[in-house]
Amino acid sequence: MSEPIPEETGSALRRTPRQARSRARLARVLEAAERVLVAEGVPALTTTRVAAEAGVSVGSLYQYLPDRDAIIDALAATYFSRLEGLMDDLVRAAGAGHWDDPVDVLVDSFAALYRAEHGFRALWFGSGLTDRTREADRAHKRRMADGVHRVLLALGVTGDPETLGRACHAAVLAADALAQEAFRRDPGGDSALLEEAKVMLRGYLAAVADRSRHT
């Protein structure tokens, strides 16, 4: 987690650090929290354990992350930011060139990120998600659906915005469920199930594109 603290993560904090030194300390704390999460699981994400791993005082950590729920919320917000950043990159790439198989590009790109994000998998497959994180996830999926919508527009698929938006949201929900199952089965992602997800999404998005041409 060496990248700057994203705005979404800041919204999950008790207060947002302003000085560069404080921001660097918080980034170090979140890196430590991720190490604890990956090695020991969600139950280990106590302020005492994370502070010890980060080499800071509990009081220093408490300024920003007062309890386990706050740590979970901040980690989740960071992961959501990374996923949405990748979607923004894909939207730009779709607008810059022709993709023979958009579904293949999207699924493979996000599968690669899932493989790299051990903390994301440890958090999502654990049992400690907070109500705030679940609500943030619903908002995150809506933003991801908007990204898919922008990809389709960049590739020349047009139609009623409300209908396309609803279809993209449905595609994201289905793809997310299949991706989670694929990575529950295999830390590298069950390749056969990911391929089935591609087949399903190609058929669905082709139907959406065809429907948009006749409306």
pLDDT digits (tens, 9 = 90+) for 9-30: 555 666 676 678 878 888 889 9
Spatial distance between the Cα atoms of 77 and 34, rounded to a whole number of angstroms: 13
| % of residues, the chain, pLDDT over 90 | 63
Which of 5-14, 66-75, 84-93 is predicted least confidently? 5-14
Q: Which CATH number applies to 7-62?
A: 1.10.10.60
Q: How far out from the chain centre does Cα 47 lie?
A: 24
**pLDDT at position 184 over 60:** yes
Q: Which CATH number applies to 76-213?
A: 1.10.357.10
Q: Is 20 left (phi over 0), alpha (psi -120 to 50) or beta?
A: alpha
Spatial distance between the Cα atoms of 86 and 105, rounded to a whole number of angstroms: 12
Overall average pLDDT of the 129-134 stretch:
90
Full-model pTM: 0.86
Overall average pLDDT of the 176-187 stretch:
93
Which residue in 15, 36, 41 sits closest to 26, CA to CA? 15
Overall average pLDDT of the 165-176 stretch:
94
Residues of the chain with CATH 1.10.357.10: 76-213
Q: What phi and psi values does residue 176 have, to the nearest 5 degrees?
A: -65, -45
Overall average pLDDT of the 135-163 stretch:
90
Overall average pLDDT of the 125-153 stretch:
91
Residues of the chain with CATH 1.10.10.60: 7-62
Cα angle vertex 179, ends 138, 208, to 5°? 75
State both tokens at 121: 């998998």
pLDDT digits (tens, 9 = 90+) for 196-206: 999 999 999 88
Residue 213 pLDDT: 67
State both tokens at 49: 């354990």
Residue 9 pLDDT: 53
